[in-house]
Amino acid sequence: MDTYEIIARALGYIRDHANRQPSLDDIAASANISPYHFQRLFTEWAGISPKKFLQYLTLNYAKRCLKENRSLFDTAHQTGLSGTGRLHDLFINLEGMTPGEYKNGGENLTIYFSVQSSPYGEFVVASTDRGVCNLFFIDDENPATLLEKEWSSARLIEEEQPIHRQVSAFLFQEKPNGPIALRLKGTSFQLKVWQALLQIPEGTLTSYGVIADHLDTPSAQRAVGTAIGRNPVGYLIPCHRVIKSMGETGGYRWNPVRKQAMIGREAAQTDQDLEGQQTLF
């Protein structure tokens, strides 16, 4: 069992037993390792102790983020996507595919893919000659089968490309060798939603309603949710930072536990002030 599998099993246990306030011993037992080993492994993975990490996952933290970040798009615009956050010294170029590419399932396209590792488990990354078109986290799925569902007519070649290594470095919080270009298949509205997601700073949470308001479509929360659910490049476009308006994390295309891991790890690395927060144990 690799590190992320142990972390995910522990976070899943916490998610299912949060109302019982599980102890460190209980959580470690759920992952079939000793409390000492779990504490050390978790701290190496997250950079902080399990106890402090879990403080970032409380309902209070989520509600506070939603309350404080109503102007998050203005904040992101003022500070830019460079600086000391996840996107330091890096920008992501998002470009939509042509209508023809969008409709024909990738006919005449050659797509290269490879399986890479990350703090959140293995993922398959796929790219054309113009940029990354997919990033799917995988558990037991066949990577080629996942991509065939997206690109029924494309030529798929399993071969690592330099941009694939850039993406892996990005997920490990390392500085990639240059910008990451995205070449995505989506409707005009979906592309607008994905562009909005790129403006959410690291360690920040927002709601579907805030994004709908930002796009001047306040009644389109459901459509925003659908667009987020169809995000083809998990984590690169940070859909995990969007939660329900009541502060609950909600679902996630690549497993709600993985979403919890991303939220907690990002918040911990941006060193949020936790004074007065509740703790699960």
SS3 127: strand
- Which strand (E) or helix (H) includes residue 212? helix 208-214
- Which strand (E) or helix (H) includes residue 226? helix 221-229
Count of residues in the chain: 281
- By C-alpha distance, which of 173, 162, 147, 121 is closest to 232? 147
- Cα(134)–Cα(153) distance, rounded to whole angstroms? 15
- Cα(92)–Cα(220) distance, rounded to whole angstroms? 26
Beta bridge partners of 113: 126, 158
- Write out the DSSP string of 46-95: HSS-HHHHHHTTSHHHHHHHHHHTTTHHHHHHHH-S-SSSTTTT--EEEE
Catalytic center residues:
239
- Cα(152)–Cα(166) distance, rounded to whole angstroms? 26
